[in-house]
Amino acid sequence: MYMRQLKNSDLQVSAMGLGAWAIGGEWLFNGRSAGWGKVDDAESIRTIQVALDAGINLIDTAANYGTGHSEQIVGKAIEGRRDQVVLATKFGFHVDEAGKKVLYYETADSILQNLPFECERSLRNLGVDVIDIYQFHMWDFPVERVPELLAVLDKLVAQGKIRTYGWSTDNVQLARLFAAGKHCVAIQHAANVLAPSPEMFAFTGEAGLISLVRSPLLMGFLSDKYNKGATFVETDVRNHDFNQERIAQIVDNRTKIREILTSNGRTVVQGALAWLWALGEHVVPIPGIRTEAQAIENAGAMEFGPLTAAQMAEIELLVGRAEVVTG
């Protein structure tokens, strides 16, 4: 179950990727903290290299993350190993690298006009000649302008700047429009065992696209690291995304399904990833990984493979959901 073939390309990705948001450090999005607190760049580089050694070949980053810092760290980590890595990054926001802040572009025209520049900047940050999967990072976009967006991306493919593209969106309607692109291979969207996305999984499976799943571990809460009463520093995005009521609800639900997630010697993290893999071979989670221990634990989940159909059904009963569409 280790590798996945990307549609309309010769690229193969590991069944799980490495999400590089957290290694970007501190930055602001629309005036609010959007990083995960301070980072140790040397540790981040070691972590990426350990993940590659453990069989993870997909790295997902973005121009936003640390306003380019994440891309730069990824570039340093893969120096001399480019042929072992499938690089995915994202575009679509106004990134002020010096000011460590990210803002929305004012118009769709601005997004389209700045796309070639953004691509060149990411290539420079990553220290590479081509990006394997270039993803639109905006969650919404005028429906009637999607063909123009695809045209610009197809031009970048023709120029050899990118190999394929995708969209980071939870909007199935927009994903369907984007899938018409000749070189579209993936939709990145949120999902995890406590917050499934059955409609998107059904669509990507039907379209032959990869679901790159962000927040597969619910920003760390599908692990043993955080429990009720957990708090975060002001510069950690989770400080304002998770109040105590939400944390308590997550922990209660995690407790209900813990025995299933930890079956066969798995950790909670490995069980949460196994739940996603059980939804179909087109599902590729990209958990954030910022330590060597996390890289080893996450990569180890691939040895266990997916949960069984019976375990999947039992989880649905325990959390009180209707049956999940598996695509």
**Six-digit token pair at 312?**
């999947």
Q: Is residue 327 one of the residues assigned to a domain? A: no
**Residue 236's domain spans which residues?**
3-319
The kind and range of the H/E element at 187 are strand 184-190
Whole-structure pTM value? 0.96
Q: What is the pLDDT of residues 86-98, one digit of tens each?
A: 999 999 999 999 9
Of residues 16, 75, 71, the one with CA closest to residue 299: 16
**Residue 155 phi, psi dihedral angles, 5° rounding:** -65, -40
Taking the CA of residue 82 as centre, how many other CA atoms within 13 Å lie in the half-sphere pointing to its CB? 12
Strands (E), 3-80: 3-5, 12-14, 17-19, 28-29, 32-33, 58-60
Q: Would residue 128 count as lying in a domain?
A: yes
Provide the percentage of residues in the chain whose pLDDT is more than 70.
Answer: 98
Calculate the average pLDDT of the chain.
95
Average pLDDT over residues 159-177: 97
Instruction: Spell out the residues 6+ positions from residue 182 whose beta carbon is closer than 8 angstroms to its own.
Output: 8, 154, 157
- pLDDT-derived band at 326 (thresholds 50, 70, 90) equals very low
Domains identified in the chain, total number = 1
Confidence label for 325 from pLDDT (cuts 50, 70 and 90) = very low
Distance between alpha carbon 162 and the CA centroid of its chain, in Å?
A: 18
Residue 324 lies in a domain: no
Kindly state whether residue 325 falls inside one of the protein's structural domains.
Answer: no
Closest CA to 191 of 170, 210, 209, 215: 215
Per-residue pLDDT band at 322 (split at 50, 70, 90) = low
> 243-272: per-residue pLDDT in tens?
999 999 999 999 999 999 999 999 999 999
Amino acid at position 274, single letter: A
Q: For residue 102, is pLDDT > 70?
A: yes
> Which CATH number fits the domain that encloses residue 219?
3.20.20.100
pLDDT of residue 321: 86
Q: What is the C-alpha separation between 118 and 112, in angstroms, rounded?
A: 10
Check whether 324 has a pLDDT greater than 80: no
Residue 240: pLDDT band by 50, 70, 90 thresholds? confident
Residue 290 belongs to a domain: yes
